[in-house]
Amino acid sequence: MSITQSPSSLFTTEEEKKEGTFDAYSLWIKEALEELPHSFTITDPFISGHPIVFASPGFLKMTGYSLEEVIGRNGRTFQGPKTNRRSIMEIREAIREERPVQVSLLNYRKSGSPFWMLFHMIPVFGEGDGRVIHFVAVQVPISGQRVGNGSGLSEMVFGSCRREVCLGSYVCQDRAVQVEMDERELENWEHCEASESERLKSAEAVNNVLAVLTRYSEFAGRLVCGKRSCLRGAECLSSSLVISLGRIKQSFVLTNPCLPDMPIVYASDAFLTLTGYKRHEVLGQNCRFLSGVDTDSSVLYEMKECILKGKPCTVQILNYSNRKDKSTFWNLLHISPVRNASGKTAYFVGVQVEASCRDTESKDLRPETRQLSVVGAVRVAVRSSFMVTC
């Protein structure tokens, strides 16, 4: 299954290998990770479906799948009819909130046989902008042992487990019957709690994987870490909001009026193409960095007044690009407040259309119409992201 990786991903896709455009550092990271004895996977939340981009040999051995059958698939592949839905929701909630999680989970091998494991997942953040670029998920099998239950019956116990099956069904004609349980009966366990040693084992595995990613990311020039860090003066947006905003193809920026000097907290790829700046040069800046000596100060004042009143406005302003020739361009700019669910202004969105393109795009939607559609899409993304604003 072919996948398209996110720009900040540490891993190379199979298509890039065939085309010869892969990053050597990505191969070094994979080789180092493959030497670890743990069972784990690494996923990329920026790719549609949140697929697995790396699976360790230990994971493949534990599940019985081949590497080709795992890469590009979502973790749902390994769940089955008796997988606890509450545990799945707990994992999804942790992904949405970008935080670690530990849960006991019933998964299924390729053969269809079930097994209980301790699922330990952590987010991996980009050191530059604080965005989540990967999730590391370690799987530790919960070990079992057969013990007597005091009535002559033999049971399989996994850590501290609860069963949905009545033990009375195993008693026949008032005498105890020795019962041998196969793996299928594991599905009847309602819950399995991992032991302390298994929890420590999962924590050690997570730390070892993170150490490899951190070390080799320095060589790749895409630094990662286990804790979120943001550019000075900029807000860290959740990956769910970044993904939603990334689907909007027009040129726009998102600024936060709750932070000092109202910095840019998101810039679209189209905005970077229009202005010639790189993302790290934009985030944390006030939008006036695009202005220059010939920019009309009265237009800047009009924009400032509308922002203070929390009202939308549309202006035509002369901006300066970061291209080699330091060229200027006329920007048809629409600014609009973006409110959260409580009605409070959480952000301002600025949508840019190069004025020279207005006549050449007469067959498409009018620039004003396209700008309003961007504003609507941004509002939907913000309100559905459950972000905590000021």
DSSP per-residue string spanning 304-329: HHHHHHT--EEEEEEEE--STT--EE
Helix spans in 153-295 (H): 196-220, 239-246, 269-275, 279-282
Query: Is the whole-model pTM more than 0.95?
Result: no
CA distances from 54 to 21, 42, 139, 165, 240 (A): 19, 5, 14, 38, 21
Are 77 and 88 a contacting pair, CB within 8 Å? no
Distance CA 86, CA 191 (A): 11
pLDDT digits (tens, 9 = 90+) for 279-338: 888 988 999 999 989 999 999 999 999 999 999 999 999 999 887 567 899 999 999 999
Please state the rounded mean pLDDT for residues 37-58.
92
Please state the rounded mean pLDDT for residues 58-86.
93
pLDDT number for residue 45: 87
| Amino acid, res. 295 | T
Mean pLDDT, the chain, whole residue set? 78
* Most confident region among 59-63, 83-87, 256-260 by mean pLDDT: 59-63
Distance CA 312, CA 336 (A): 4
pLDDT digits (tens, 9 = 90+) for 178-224: 334 455 555 555 567 888 999 999 999 999 999 888 887 776 666 66
